[in-house]
Structure 1
């Protein structure tokens, strides 16, 4: 099969398109023929050597959509079944989705019932599931005033689309560290755009709910813009910082407010299918900002790292 293999940490040029043996099924694992997958910032971190647990050589890729090609669970995962896989240790402890086929633990393969085409479905798993779980944890109401910190990311755009579909008329502001992207955010549907300059929001506004996608690098500043009794959901780590140093919950959390989080590794098959049905039922337009081929994965990484990246980047096979 064709795959993209990385043998040592480095830049996008380390992602080599080559031929490798097609994996063979083993007890408790099934083979998925990949139809598409998203490119994620965490894969860029891994490529750069910033994931200590990942050993090279490795086929990266933490998500995919496709069909069962060979199975060890014919009842739940019959050959031809449309499936989604997210997270677990794919692309980390074992080879992932940057390939024509991927061998996955059965417990990490989720059968889905959906009429979405492959391009749309490939845009959804990691990005929309993360946004959907975060939306539920924020306990939104139609009266909320929402801030998305890191709004130009794929999860930020997905969250906006889900929220606007479920709560028509609700106001959602988005942040960007690049002022040149303000028009992109407004055209996407954000009601307001706030510039994030060196981790400080250039506004005095406060919000009832904050989706924090920059992560520990800006959580404390986000609470300065959270109303009493509000909720901050820390979901992303786009700020390349994993921990909160010198964090005093009593002083740093806004008065009577709440800090929660969502992690896309907490996958629930029922919740995943519910999200897909919501996208179909609400006619949510889930489309990628850019589509690449398998032999263009290195170019996809370059694009996602660039200043002009916006939204979700996918690869279709």
Structure 2
């Protein structure tokens, strides 16, 4: 099969089209003939040598795909050969075929294309787990996502709004802020011209927001604590601005704040299976009802993965970037 590998850590040009053996599904796995594969920030970090795959995972980048089940390992029910699915991976998505645990697959929501379906798993698993499970967002509470036009951002805005919450988002231009509002944000904050802490307090009567989903880290962390309401929760999922911060823990204690976070890639299959079940029951119906829609910025053929990574690194995209795999 054709696949895109990382020859060595470095710029996008280090992504190279190669030939690899077709994987053989193990017990509990299915083999998917890939039609489309999502491109995500962790893929870029892996290519840069900053995010190695966990032990036992494919060295090929790619954390989500959509395609057709073509082979079953032992015990891979309920899937059957010919089923269209999308799936969360630990790696290997930039290829014509990939083997994945059956429990990490989901049916493709009615009406979606291969490209749209491939854009779902990585961000939907991440947002559901971190906002609703770790962040414990409850009815009537408010929410802020940093980077509202990223793949995570466009998913978080729509998903949280679909559940009836007040949503705030930050973005780096007026154009991107307008896109956040179109997706459902009640207020979008241009972080280049506004202080998100001040803006949040103005919008909430000085109370702050209940849950913040952050991909920046660094000096954002102490500012985010000030933007939280009492008993608020800060959930960290990436550190684009650095992994270290100076925090006044007296504020955490006095205001009963929670700082938490997670990475999904290396978590056990059982954890991902539980998230998949929750998504199918609670979120997939919202997609099929048109209340949450995939946001696709651009597509590239598999052999142009380097161009896809260059676009992601530029920050010019709004929503997801997806690779297409020709039959």
Q: TM-score, normalised by structure 2?
A: 0.81
8 Å Cα contact 1:212-1:222 kept in structure 2: no
CA contact (8 A) 1:45 1:51 kept: yes
CA–CA distance in structure 2, aligned partners of residues 166 and 271 of structure 1: 14
* Structure 1: gaps spanning 5 or more residues: none
CA–CA separation in structure 1 for the residues paired with 2:262 and 2:286: 19
Counterpart among 252, 269, 280 of residue 273 in structure 1: 280
Measure how far apart 1:47 and its partner are: 0.2
CA contact (8 A) 2:127 2:156 kept: yes
- Within 5 Å, give how 1:94-105 maps onto structure 2: 96-104=92-100
Looking at structure 2, the residues matched to 46 and 37 of structure 1 have their Cα atoms a distance apart, in angstroms, of 16
Gaps of 5+ in 2: 202-207, 266-270
Query: 1:229 is matched with which residue: 224, 228, 231?
Result: 231
| Post-superposition CA distance 1:122-169 (Å, at most 9, x none) | 1211112222233323444554333222212111111111122221xx
Please say if residues 210 and 231 of structure 2, whose CA atoms lie closer than 8 Å, have aligned partners that are also in contact.
no
Corresponding residue number in structure 1 for 2:153 = 156
Give yes or no for the alignment of 1:295 onto 2:306: no
128-137 vs 251-260, which deviates more? 251-260
- Structure 1 residues 179, 24: closer, same or farther in 2, change over 3 A? same
Q: Distance in 2 between matches of 1:26 and 1:145?
A: 43
Give the Cα separation in 1 of the matches to 2:132 and 2:321: 24
Q: Paired residue for 2:221? A: 219
Note if contact 2:252-2:258 (Cα within 8 Å) is conserved in structure 1. no
Distance in structure 1 (CA, Å) of the matches to 2:176 and 2:104? 36
TM-score, structure 1 normalization: 0.83
Tell me what 2:180 maps to: 185
Map 1:199-214 → 2, pairs under 5 A: 201=196, 203=198, 205-206=200-201, 207-214=208-215
Distance 1:202 1:259 in 2: 17
Aligned counterpart in structure 1 of residue 315 of structure 2, from 298, 307, 315: 307
- For the 8 Å contact 1:227–1:254, the answer to whether it is kept is no
CA RMSD of aligned residues (A): 3.1
Does residue 82 in structure 1 map to residue 78 in structure 2? Answer: no
SS in 2 for 1:115: coil
> Given that residues 214 and 237 in structure 1 are in contact (C-alpha distance below 8 angstroms), is that contact kept between their aligned partners in structure 2?
yes
Cα distance in 2 between the residues matched to 1:198 and 1:18: 45
Q: Secondary structure at the match of 2:179?
A: helix
- In the alignment, the residues of structure 1 paired with residue 319 and residue 41 of structure 2 have an alpha-carbon distance, to the nearest angstrom, of 12
1:145 match: 142
Aligned pair count? 306
For residue 286 of structure 1, report the CA deviation from its aligned partner: 1.9
- Check whether the contact 2:222–2:248 (CA below 8 A) recurs between aligned residues: no
Q: Aligned partners of 1:258, 1:115: CA distance in 2, in Å?
A: 38
Residue of structure 1 aligned with 2:190, choices 192, 195, 211: 195
Distance apart, 1:299 and its partner CA: 0.9
